[in-house]
Chains A and B, each alone.
Chain A
Amino acid sequence: MSEQLVPVLVLTAVVIVFAAAMIGLTFLAGPKRKPTPEKQLPYECGIVGKEHETTRFPVKFYLTAILFILFDIEVIFLYPWALVYGDLLKFGPFILVEIIVFMLVLTFGLFYVWKARALEWD
């Protein structure tokens, strides 16, 4: 397994070298001017901006992230099951009952989240 990933490491090195080289090249080739303080301000609409702080953002994004973790782990648990499902069918309905219980719990979770209005954006 680990041997299969060696080319990936080599590719990572290639990409990092490429990215660093290109940014370095721009440093060398680009024009060097001393920027005015106004130019270095965050871009807003073209004139000098009034507000520069970016500390506040809607809490909805946190909620989405938390829901994502729950459901993504669900998906990850499904993968190994999906791989062996076809093979294990011949040993009877256990593998089917197992997944029905698992999915019922999680579908109920989705239903709850939906009814609790956690998926609403307004």
Chain B
Amino acid sequence: MGTTWLEIIINTVKIAAIFVIVVSTVPLLVWVERRGPAFMQNRLGPNRVGPLGLLQLAADAIKFIFKEEFIPTKAEKILYFMAPGLTLLPAALTFAAIPLSTPINILGYTFKLQIADLNIGLIYIFAVASLGVYGILAAGWSSGNKYAMLGALRASSQMISYEIAMGLSVVGVLMMYQTFSLNQMITEQFGYFSFLWQGSAVELKFLPNWGVFFQPLAFILFLTATFAETNRLPFDLPEGEAELVAGFHTEYGGFKFNMFFMGEYGHMITSAALITTLFFGGYALPFISPEQVREFWIQNGHTLLGFTGLSMPDIASVLTTITHLVVFLAKTGFWLFFFIWVRWTLPRFRYDQLMDLGWKTLLPWSLVNLALTTALMYFARIVK
């Protein structure tokens, strides 16, 4: 957190700011989720409130606050009120470990665009993400509604099943990078596709040094498991509105319902960011390392930010960070769009198909991926 009061205040403001930005991305995503499929299905979508229907988000948010507070008689009151928070909390906490961009060095201070730079980043994310099950179970059980209970059971069962495949698919990635720190993983992905083959360096100039090219199978398994972890179509059986009304949040309304929504979308944002970080180089540009970006801004930066009167290294540092932030947002945005795209492409699975896919397909294939990576690293002495 820092040693002086100034640093502590700056860091606290940063934490709150990142949280508020993530929370306010949710309505934007909902807007994309409504306008995007409208475009795909050749209809209009929300277009009445504000330009392109963008103010619909604000209208919805305000409406949620002015809804009646309602408690069913069968509900366990304390858990019933805690459950939305318990769902939102893990979703917000997992995002803390994601590095958004390179650190800014300004006026002698170093300012990281990341809430917590953890050396066990990946383990932390998995540990906190699995706590999300508690919120959903608490919501389903405390509602005193059988549909809510069934939805919660389905959700927790599917989340824990896919967590195994997800955790196992990442082992191959860990073997390549040899670190849990997400920042170091991104550093490993700078530049061209290169590795050691029998002790001699191999470099392919036409591929970036991204995890997806080292671990293609792991990437597919991880992506599939992510959909199940976030309870999204084609794995949205916990909600399954045709059979379970609305699943675990049947009895919730107003802002409490909105918090489940935020939790789900927060999970989605973290997952998209994690896919970007593990497999697509995080905030790094393909082929070009941040050092080269910095060199470029040292040459050209003063035309953009010369008027601020800052020294040249500071300007270059700020511009480098902005460049990488844009790259990170573009990659994460693509994966978020991919989530929405898949939702409108694939139909819902049946429950036994869902469980079979998790246990009988993803789990064996992630074991295969592990065996392949182990064998290649041993016999061909491939080291990244």
Q: Interface of A with B (CB < 8 Å)? A: 1, 3-8, 10-12, 14-16, 18-20, 22-23, 25-27, 29-33, 35, 37, 39-45, 51-54, 57, 61, 64-65, 67-68, 71-72, 75-76, 78-79, 82-87, 89, 93, 96, 99, 103, 107, 110, 114, 119-122
Contacts and interface: CB of A to CB of B under 8 A. Distances in A.
B118 interface: yes
Contact of A72 (B15, B69, B146, B163): B163
Contact of B153 (A39, A57, A76): A57
B174 interface: yes
A30 B160 contact: no
A52 B164 CA distance: 35
Nearest to A65: B160
B259 A22 contact: yes
Interface residues of B, number: 84
B119 interface: yes
A65 to B, nearest CB: 7
B11 interface: yes
Contact of A11 (B84, B93, B143, B160): B93
Most buried by B among A1, A52, A53, A71: A71
Nearest to B150: A57
Interface string B168-187: 10011011101110000000
Given A41-B72, A119-B360, A75 B168 contact: yes
Output the residue of A6, A45, A121 with the most chain B CB within 10 A: A121
Contacts of B254: 26, 30
Top 10 nearest A-B pairs (CB, nearest first) are A121-B352, A42-B145, A75-B167, A19-B85, A82-B174, A68-B160, A7-B116, A54-B149, A40-B73, A54-B146
A12 B93 contact: yes
Contacts of A42: 72, 74, 143-146, 148, 251
A122 B245 CA distance: 22
Contacts of B364: 110
Interface in B123-174: 123, 141, 143-150, 153, 156-157, 160-161, 163-164, 167-168, 171-172, 174
A20 B85 CA distance: 8
A14 B68 contact: no
B81 A14 contact: no
A40 B255 CA distance: 18
Contacts of A79: 123, 171, 174, 180
A26 B157 contact: no
Contacts of A86: 175-176, 178, 377, 383-384
B161 A27 contact: no
B384 to A, nearest CB: 8
Contacts of B147: 43-44
A88 B85 CA distance: 44
Nearest to B127: A76
Contact of A89 (B71, B92, B174, B378): B378
A74 B263 CA distance: 28
Given A4-B119, A42-B143, A23 B174 contact: no
Contacts, number: 205
23 contacts: A1-B119, A3-B1, A6-B116, A14-B19, A16-B89, A19-B89, A23-B81, A26-B69, A32-B68, A37-B73, A40-B70, A42-B74, A42-B144, A42-B145, A64-B160, A68-B164, A75-B171, A78-B168, A83-B180, A89-B383, A96-B378, A110-B367, A119-B356
Interface in B74-116: 74, 81, 84-85, 88-89, 92-93, 96, 115-116
Interface of B: 1, 11-12, 15-16, 19, 23, 64-74, 81, 84-85, 88-89, 92-93, 96, 115-120, 123, 141, 143-150, 153, 156-157, 160-161, 163-164, 167-168, 171-172, 174-176, 178-180, 245, 250-251, 254-256, 258-259, 351-352, 355-356, 359-360, 363-364, 367, 370-371, 374, 377-378, 381, 383-384
Contacts of B1: 3, 6-7, 10
B163 to A, nearest CB: 7
A76 B171 CA distance: 10
B175 A82 contact: yes
A23 B180 contact: no
A44 B148 CA distance: 10
A6 B117 CA distance: 11
Nearest to B254: A26
